[in-house]
Amino acid sequence: MFFGFAVHSHAQMSSPASEQNTGFGVRGGVNFFTWGGSDISSDDYTNRVGFHAGIFANMFVVDRLSIEPGVYYSVKGTQNDDLVDSRAVLNYVDVPILLRYYATEGLNFFAGPQGSILVGSTFEADALGTTFDWDTESINDIDAGLVVGIGYNLPVGVTIQASYDYGMTPVFKDSEADVFNRGFKVSAGISF
């Protein structure tokens, strides 16, 4: 049984992308997020480095076109290079549903909606050699947005990709401020 599974997995990984029916995998990487919107000055905030990790399924619906739902833990936020080096650390569970088009056996382009659930948020600042942090209730519990990106599948089942998350739900509750989560992700994964 184990041998049969290994042979099937190897055949699945070495076949052209358009011939694969269904697969799943794990993916993780680096986030570069900040806040965007008309109420944010590019001089105020800079990218904050975080990470994301999770699982995905890839299901081909027709030749060269697949649907890819996923679930990822993702650390977003922003950083302000002010006197106390303040930053917002926002932890989400991201649930994207991507449509992935394979231009070749490896090269692919993808886009789709993404819903995110806030699982934790803190504001931090450094002063007098100490990091101070405090929880906040002012962040929206749900974030909705769009994801677009480009990826490449290597013949051995390894995937690499870069994407941009375009948040469309305001970061803050009960606020008229035009402030959204926006950022890039670079990741690598393994398909099974």
How open is the CA angle 165-116-26, to the nearest 5 degrees? 75
At residue 10, the pLDDT reads 41
At residue 15, the pLDDT reads 52
Q: Can you spell out the DSSP letters for 117-174?
A: EEEEEEEEEEETTEEEEEE-S-B-SEEEEEEEEEEEE-TTSEEEEEEEEEE-S-SBTT
At residue 16, the pLDDT reads 54
In order along its 192 residues, the chain shows pLDDT tens digits of: 333 433 344 444 445 554 555 789 999 999 999 888 876 666 667 788 999 999 999 999 998 999 999 999 999 988 887 666 788 899 999 999 999 999 998 999 999 999 999 999 888 887 766 666 666 788 899 999 999 999 999 988 899 999 999 999 999 887 777 889 999 999 999 988
Structural domains of the chain sorted by starting position, each given as residue range(s) with its CATH number in brackets: 2-191 (2.40.160.20)
Predicted TM-score (pTM) of the model is 0.82
80: left (phi over 0), alpha (psi -120 to 50) or beta: beta
Give me the torsion for CA of 134, 138, 142, 147, rounded to 10°. Answer: -80
Nearest CA-CA partner of 15 in 184, 153, 173: 153
